[in-house]
């Protein structure tokens, strides 16, 4: 946003303290979120003192970001107390600040109860502290829509209170993001409360669990989602974990009983054999009578997929079992030749589907990807510009080119 736009917004909305905003804080910023303008205060990489806090006028701020700032426990309490009275505050982002566990719990007790979007990233808090924060603040917040817990030195036992909240009818969280925390469970802990809460929860729409040492846990997550007829989860991101092909084969059968639209498994340990299992699964999904059981977006980027996997993808396409809007295969080991074959198969596929749709419109729901197919093949093999152009021309020279986006450069 330009300085003129920023000044105009401040003049029109908060003229009574325009000078304090523009002169005191170079960190003041504006942002669009939820289709509206937000006034954001970003206290990043600075020393936040009592004098600075006392000069803050926070009546109009919708977002507070405290990033890698130097602040004492006393001043943190003062800052949060001041923002606790700000009626417009919706977003609170706390990243990489050093605070004592008990002081942090006390400081955040009130402010955590009111925000819609809460991010806690790279804080030195222990299991017990996160349990206390959840119990004293997070579960009492009836407005909380998105919760992000990232880079916290805790294990899965720290999520017990959150599990109880996710299982309750009072839960308001739509999006839960857990990143770089340890969610590994012991073999004899299959009834883990956190994963079991997913079989009951009725509010989550997006669940992101990345870089959390998830392996067999992926099966428990998807199995519990499949057990929940009221589940609203449509996006599941399990990227950057330890999921193997065997793990993939175990949870694949449960997918057809979920409402998942997008499954992201980038950066795991999945091999070509997973695509063999996917062929079997695809026939069940295509023949399903419910659109809600179709997985339209599958991302398998940065795994261990080679030409053998590409052949299985081509088999899916040639047998009219390719039901994805998007299949992410970037950063694997697929050769130039196989990329060309995938492109050619997609051209023929669209010709067949166009004929099918023209003859039998009641089958359109079976192939909702017609018109927007995307296979992402960026950074595979040793592809050069000439090869990319050849593959691209294979697609655009066909009159049905609007159906494709093949990315290779």
307 and 334 Cβ atoms separated by less than 8 Å? yes
Per-residue confidence at 249, pLDDT binned at 50, 70, 90? very high
Size (the chain), residues: 409
Render pLDDT for 71-95 as a digit per residue (tens, 0 to 9): 988 899 899 998 888 888 999 999 9
Selection from 25-34, 281-290, 398-407 with the highest mean pLDDT = 281-290
pLDDT per position as a tens digit, 324-336: 777 888 888 988 8
pLDDT in the model for residue 303: 95
For 176-223, what is each residue's pLDDT tens digit?
Answer: 999 999 998 876 666 789 999 999 999 999 999 999 999 999 999 999
- Percent of the chain clearing pLDDT 90 (strictly above): 41
- What gap in Å lies between CA 84 and CA 191, rounded to an integer? 38
Quote the CA–CA distance of 388 and 193 in Å, as a whole number.
49
Between 37 and 230, name the one with better pLDDT: 230
User: What does residue 363 show for φ and ψ, rounded to 5 degrees?
Assistant: -95, 5
Residue with the larger pLDDT of the pair 9 and 234: 234
Whether residue 24 is predicted with pLDDT greater than 90 in this model: the reply is no
Split at pLDDT 50, 70, 90, the class of 262 is very high
**Judging by beta carbons within 10 Å of its beta carbon (0-12, 13-18, 19+), is residue 83 exposed, middle or buried?**
buried
Q: What is the pTM of this model?
A: 0.85
53: pLDDT strictly greater than 70: yes
Q: CA angle at residue 367 from 361 to 372, to 5 degrees? A: 110
Cβ-based neighbour number of residue 400 at 10 Å = 18
Q: What is the pLDDT of residue 248?
A: 96
Residue 376, classed as helix, strand or coil, is strand
| 342-364 confidence digits (pLDDT tens) | 877 877 776 776 665 444 333 33
Q: What kind and span of H or E run contains 338?
A: helix 336-359
Model pLDDT for residues 148-179, shown as the tens digit of each residue: 999 999 999 999 999 999 999 999 999 999 99
The pLDDT mean for the chain works out to 79
- How far is it, in rounded angstroms, from Cα 30 to Cα 26? 12
Q: What is the pLDDT of residue 309?
A: 94
Check residue 290 and give its pLDDT. Answer: 56
């Amino acid at each position: 946003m330009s300085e003129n736009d920023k000044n105009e917004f401040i003049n029109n909305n908060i003229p009574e303290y325009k000078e304090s905003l523009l002169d005191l804080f170079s960190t003041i910023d504006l942002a669009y979120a939820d289709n509206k303008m937000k006034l954001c205060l970003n206290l990043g990489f600075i020393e936040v003192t009592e004098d600075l806090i006392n000069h803050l006028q926070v009546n109009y701020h919708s977002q507070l970001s405290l990033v890698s700032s130097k602040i004492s426990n006393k001043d943190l309490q003062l800052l949060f107390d001041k923002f606790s009275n700000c009626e417009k505050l919706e977003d609170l982002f706390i990243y990489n600040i050093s605070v004592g566990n008990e002081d942090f719990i006390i400081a955040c007790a009130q402010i955590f109860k009111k925000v819609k979007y809460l991010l806690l990233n790279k804080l030195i808090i222990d299991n017990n502290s996160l349990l206390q924060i959840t119990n004293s603040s997070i579960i009492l917040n009836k407005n909380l829509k998105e919760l992000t817990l990232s880079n916290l030195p805790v294990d899965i036992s720290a999520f017990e209170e959150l599990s109880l909240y996710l299982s309750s009818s009072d839960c308001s969280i739509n999006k839960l993001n857990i990143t770089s925390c340890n969610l590994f469970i012991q073999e004899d802990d299959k009834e883990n409360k956190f994963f079991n809460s997913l079989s009951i929860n009725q509010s989550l729409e997006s669940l992101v669990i990345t870089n959390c040492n998830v392996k067999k846990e992926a099966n428990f997550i998807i199995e519990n989602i499949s057990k929940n007829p009221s589940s609203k989860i449509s996006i599941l991101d399990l990227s950057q974990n330890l999921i193997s092909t065997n793990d993939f084969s175990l949870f694949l059968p449960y997918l057809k009983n979920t409402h998942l639209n997008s499954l992201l498994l980038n950066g795991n340990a999945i091999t070509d054999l997973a695509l063999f299992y996917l062929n079997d699964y695809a026939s069940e999904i295509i023949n399903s009578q419910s659109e809600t059981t179709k997985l339209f977006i599958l991302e398998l980027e940065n795994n261990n997929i080679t030409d053998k996997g590409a052949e299985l993808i081509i088999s899916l396409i040639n047998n009219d079992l390719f039901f994805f809007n998007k299949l992410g295969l970037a950063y694997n080991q697929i050769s130039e030749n196989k990329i060309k074959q995938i492109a050619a198969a997609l051209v023929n596929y669209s010709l067949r589907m166009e004929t099918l749709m023209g003859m039998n419109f009641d089958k359109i729901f079976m192939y909702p990807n017609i018109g927007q197919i995307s296979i992402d093949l960026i950074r595979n093999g040793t592809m050069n510009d000439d090869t990319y152009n050849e593959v691209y021309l294979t697609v655009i020279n066909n009159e049905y080119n609007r159906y494709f986006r093949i990315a290779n450069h």
